[in-house]
């Protein structure tokens, strides 16, 4: 039997209330590595660690992974498709890169809405010696091809997040009305082979309170 969005949100919140609220980068990466989680080598580990935790905590109440539209597979399905996102709050305005705009529009067309489970919190960053980055690269067996190519180009390297404190988890509903108000990202961008990148939906962090179903 299909349940409503409100009931789905309650089921999700009941599970995620037990989620750890402090994530140490080294512990999180080692935990993912120990479980053979495919994304443990990723630089932006907080988003993948949240996905890792959601898959563990929500597997009893949600179909994981969710439905696929084109080349895009949503993270889960419970009444509607859901994606899991972690975002560091800061002093300046920030936007969350959501997902492929065409896939989201297709999901809304079929299910009536699309949902986001967002962990919002405070990130702490690497020291000037970049000891965390060096530790992670050593754990991976050395710098990746992407990192080597960046060094060859002389491009700037982002400072890595070493820990993350979750301040709140918000469940957000996006329907046709809210989708029209969201911005887009990657418009006019191209892949390395020259093909155009599909635009992705942007959600302003300040709009989370307006679109949220539940927060805890």
pLDDT in tens, 2-22: 689 999 999 999 999 999 999
- Residue that wins the pLDDT comparison between 123 and 191: 123
pLDDT of residue 152: 44
Mean pLDDT of the chain: 87
Q: How far is CA 3 from the centre of its chain?
A: 25
Domain residue spans of the chain: 5-215
pLDDT digits (tens, 9 = 90+) for 62-78: 999 999 999 999 999 99
Instruction: Record the pTM.
Output: 0.86
Q: Using an 8 Å Cβ cutoff, are 169 and 71 in contact?
A: no
Counting residues of the chain whose pLDDT is more than 90, the rounded percentage is: 64
Instruction: Respond yes or no on whether the N-terminal peptide bond of residue 65 is cis (omega within 30° of 0).
Output: yes
Burial 173-198 (b: 16+ CB within 10 A, else e): bbeeebbeebeebeeeeeeeeeeeeb
What pLDDT was estimated at residue 1? 52
What is the pLDDT at residue 183?
74
The larger pLDDT score, comparing residue 54 to residue 196, is at 54
- Averaged over 163-181, what is the pLDDT? 92
Backbone angles phi, psi at 34, to 5 degrees: -65, -30
Evaluate if residue 148 carries a pLDDT over 70: no
Buried b / exposed e over 117-136, threshold 16 CB at 10 Å, is bbbbbebeebeeeeebbebb
What is the Cα–Cα distance from 183 to 199, expressed in whole angstroms?
Answer: 10
**Residue range 150-171: mean pLDDT, rounded:** 77
């Amino acid at each position: 039997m299909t349940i409503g969005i409100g009931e789905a949100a309650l089921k999700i919140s009941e599970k995620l209330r037990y989620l750890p609220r402090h994530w140490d980068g080294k512990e999180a990466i080692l935990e993912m590595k120990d479980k053979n989680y495919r994304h443990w080598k990723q630089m932006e580990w907080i988003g993948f660690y949240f996905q890792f935790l959601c898959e563990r905590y929500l597997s009893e109440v949600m179909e994981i992974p969710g439905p696929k539209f084109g080349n895009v597979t949503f993270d889960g399905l419970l009444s509607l498709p859901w994606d899991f996102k972690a975002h560091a709050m800061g002093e300046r305005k920030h936007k969350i890169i959501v997902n492929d705009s065409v896939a989201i529009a297709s999901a809304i067309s079929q299910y009536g809405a699309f949902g986001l489970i967002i962990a919002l919190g405070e990130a702490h960053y690497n020291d000037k010696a970049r000891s965390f980055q060096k530790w992670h690269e050593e754990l991976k067996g050395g710098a990746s091809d992407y990192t080597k190519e960046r060094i060859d180009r002389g491009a700037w390297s982002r400072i890595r997040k070493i820990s993350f404190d979750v301040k709140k988890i918000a469940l957000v509903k996006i329907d046709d009305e809210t989708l029209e108000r969201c911005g887009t990202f990657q418009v006019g961008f191209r892949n390395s082979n020259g093909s155009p990148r599909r635009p992705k939906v942007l959600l302003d962090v300040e709009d989370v309170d307006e679109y949220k179903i539940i927060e805890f």
